[in-house]
Amino acid sequence: MARILIADDEPDIARLIERYAIREGHEVTSVSNGDEAIAACRKADYDVIVMDVMMPDTDGFTACKKIREFKDIPVLMLSARGTEYDKLFGFEVGVDDYVTKPFSPKELLARINVILRRHTATAPVAKREEDVLRGGGIEMDMLGHNVYVDGVKTDLTAKEYAILQYLLRNKGIVLSRDKILNEVWGYDYFGDDRTVDWQMKLLRGKLGPYRDCIHTIRGAGYKFED
């Protein structure tokens, strides 16, 4: 069971998500705007937030940024708009997934469950060499969930972290967009495969001099080489 916070000013949509989530055994709290979502996260802990973009007073993007200032909770963003700008902006503020309305409740719950699995905490007792991935001047500490570029800690979103981990585990191998979507998103993705391109652009921007270690292979996908 997971604790899910739904923030949406459309009661019918909130009730629909709540009904499917409860059916799968999750505990659900619903609020109707961004300010209430921020207040709810200050009072309690949640495993995932389903947040609408367009809400009165404080929009979903602003609420997400404010919540991230004091808690690291994965966010799935809902929006009636599916423009490239909206999706890219959502990834920049750190959302874990982006779903355009109207949506399939079953697919939405599948995405929520993938996010929950990705963020399930582990508690290893000691760091081993195999718990660190390296490429160029990049070091990924998987136990601490930290990434360092030339020894300096770099903040990555959950998706950026998962993509970099997949690339480092498969250095020198060309990975198609479909493979990256299936591995990182964890399900058959039915949306625009340019999602991978947007995430790669953001990830490269955080790798400093090693951005060019991620090679774009025309017509094939991406490959990481030192």
Q: Where are the domains of the chain?
A: 3-118, 129-224
**What pLDDT score does 89 carry?**
73
8 A C-beta contact, residue 177 and residue 105: no
Cα atoms found within 13 Å of the Cα of residue 86, Cβ hemisphere only: 16
Segments of the chain with pLDDT less than 50: 121-127
Note the pLDDT tens digit of each residue in 11-35: 999 999 999 999 989 999 999 999 9
Q: What's residue 129's pLDDT?
A: 52
Q: Would you state the pLDDT for residue 215?
A: 95
Q: Do 47 and 117 meet the contact criterion of CB atoms below 8 Å apart?
A: no
Helices marked H in the chain? 11-23, 34-43, 60-68, 84-92, 105-118, 158-169, 177-180, 194-204
The DSSP element (H or E) to which 3 belongs, if any, is strand 3-7
pLDDT confidence of residue 181: 85
The predicted pLDDT at position 190 comes to 54
147 token code pair: 């990434």
The HSE-up count of residue 67 (CA atoms within 13 Å, CB side) is: 33
Which residues are within 8 A (CB) of 191 and not within 5 positions of it... i.e. 6 or more apart? 100
Q: Which CATH number fits domain 129-224: 2.40.30.10, 3.50.4.10, 2.60.120.10, 1.10.10.10?
A: 1.10.10.10
pLDDT digits (tens, 9 = 90+) for 156-179: 988 899 999 999 999 999 999 888
CB atoms within 10 A of CB 174: 13
Tell me which of 3.30.200.20, 3.40.228.10, 3.30.360.10, 3.40.50.2300 is the CATH number of domain 3-118.
Answer: 3.40.50.2300
pTM: 0.56
